[in-house]
């Protein structure tokens, strides 16, 4: 059935958006959706039973926002979306001039040429290796609703991040420190790290009248064969499986439904979709009109706005640097 996009809108006060990260993630809060109980992540082990299996997204947020000067004067920003080759990338370009096919830009640190235009995105060819450009001249792409301060950058990547190419953080993982993961392992829990490269369209709100008409972004993912087998075996053995974040959920569900462990996915989870793998989902509180609210509605049902209102009334913080909620998928 078609779902109206207005069903995924709500009022989010500006003061409820956490502008600063938790320097100690153990102090961030977790709302248990079923009971409405709120705990800190320091006490997370009190709401799990051992053994359980946790699936986390290890993709790294790269320094993809490059701001520099043109030789002819004037500022320019290149936001790298995807590396297509050593010297070829898909990107966004912010510049006051007219952007044309085959136009060459001489910049302070490097040179590039526009080789393809696709709506508001550009494919460019650079005279330097793109990874080197990102590593040497780029900075962390904080979300548009977060005040850009360099002191926040190191907190926008998960402590366990390793490899991958994300332009936005899989932020549910920010609540889990390496120390906490090691403690949970000692208690008998198992952790599996998959990779889904988060695209900038994760911030794109639903603008169509019905969510069925919303074009979800396509993202690359990969899951090791041995890890996928462990997940499936845990499911068969009745072991509780936790997906940490919607990106982990989309990756494992895509792999389960298609049988493809490495590829690209544009899988959209609708309110009437079936969740096949996890028993629990831990995720941050999402923005109004976010497509991710469709996942929340799928798991928690049509009364999710009441849960969000309760979270706001309780003083919980929302979005990337905010608090989290745990859903029981089975109920």
pLDDT digits (tens, 9 = 90+) for 99-111: 999 999 999 999 9
Is residue 313 scored above 70 in pLDDT?
A: yes
pLDDT at 50 over 90: no
pLDDT tens digits, residue range 58-76?
A: 999 999 999 999 998 899 9
**What does the pLDDT average to over 295-308?**
97
Provide the pLDDT for residue 329: 97
pLDDT at 217 > cutoff 90: no
Q: Over range 209-232, report the average pLDDT.
A: 92
The confidence score (pLDDT) of residue 153 equals 96
Helix (H) or strand (E) holding 271: none
Q: What is the mean pLDDT of the chain?
A: 95
How many residues are recorded in the chain? Answer: 331
What does the pLDDT read at residue 112? 98
**Residues 326, 282: contact at Cβ < 8 Å?**
yes
Which run of H or of E encompasses 1?
A: none
Is 1 a residue whose pLDDT tops 70?
no
- Integer angstrom CA distances of residue 218 from 27, 52, 81, 154, 263: 34, 30, 12, 26, 10
Q: How far is it, in rounded angstroms, from Cα 179 to Cα 25? A: 11
Per-residue pLDDT, 119: 87
Question: What is the b/e burial string over 303-323, where b = at least 16 CB atoms within 10 angstroms of the residue's CB?
Answer: ebbebbeebbeeebbbbbbbb
Average pLDDT over residues 212-216: 83
- What is the SS3 assignment for 231? helix
Give 24's strand partners: none
Residue pair 324/28 in contact by the 8 Å Cβ criterion: yes
SS3 assignment, position 233: helix
Could you give the CA distance from residue 293 to residue 216 in angstroms, rounded to a whole number? 13
CA distance 231 to 154: 31
For the segment 81-97, the average pLDDT, to the nearest whole number, is: 96
Q: What is the pLDDT of residue 84?
A: 96
pLDDT 10s digits, 222-265: 999 999 999 999 999 999 999 999 999 999 999 999 999 999 99
Q: For the chain, list the domains and their CATH numbers.
A: 5-61+146-328 (3.40.1780.10), 65-137 (2.40.10.240)
For the segment 184-206, what is each residue's pLDDT rounded down to a tens digit? Answer: 999 999 999 999 999 988 778 89
What pLDDT, on the 0 to 100 scale, is given for residue 330?
86
Question: Above 80 in pLDDT, residue 331?
Answer: no
């Amino acid at each position: 059935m078609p779902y109206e996009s207005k069903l995924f809108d709500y009022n989010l006060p500006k003061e409820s958006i956490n502008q600063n990260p938790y320097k100690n993630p153990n102090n961030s809060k977790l709302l248990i959706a079923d009971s409405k109980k709120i705990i800190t992540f320091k006490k997370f082990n009190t709401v799990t039973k051992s053994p359980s299996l946790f699936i986390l997204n290890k993709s790294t947020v790269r320094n993809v926002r490059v701001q520099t000067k043109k030789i002819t004067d004037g500022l320019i920003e290149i936001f790298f979306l995807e590396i297509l080759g050593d010297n070829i990338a898909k990107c966004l370009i912010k510049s006051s001039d007219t952007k044309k096919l085959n136009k060459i830009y001489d910049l302070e640190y490097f040179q590039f040429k526009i080789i393809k235009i696709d709506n508001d995105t550009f494919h460019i060819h650079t005279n330097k290796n793109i990874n080197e450009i990102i590593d040497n001249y780029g900075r962390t792409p904080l979300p548009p609703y977060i005040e850009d301060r360099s002191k926040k950058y190191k907190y926008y990547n998960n402590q366990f991040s390793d490899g991958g190419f994300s332009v936005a953080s899989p932020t549910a993982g920010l609540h889990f420190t390496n120390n906490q993961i090691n403690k949970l392992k000692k208690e008998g829990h198992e952790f599996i790290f998959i990779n889904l490269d988060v695209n900038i369209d994760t911030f794109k709100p639903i603008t169509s009248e019905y969510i069925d008409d919303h074009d979800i972004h396509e993202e690359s993912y990969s899951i090791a064969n041995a890890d996928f087998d462990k997940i499936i075996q845990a499911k068969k053995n009745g072991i509780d499986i936790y997906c940490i974040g919607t990106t982990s959920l989309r990756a494992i569900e895509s792999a389960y439904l298609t049988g493809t462990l490495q590829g690209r996915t544009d899988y959209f989870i609708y309110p009437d979709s079936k969740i096949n793998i996890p028993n629990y989902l831990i995720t941050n509180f999402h923005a109004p009109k976010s497509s991710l609210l469709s996942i929340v509605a799928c798991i928690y049902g049509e009364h999710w706005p009441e849960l969000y209102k309760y979270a706001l009334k309780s003083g919980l913080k929302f979005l990337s640097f905010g608090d989290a909620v745990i859903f029981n998928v089975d109920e």
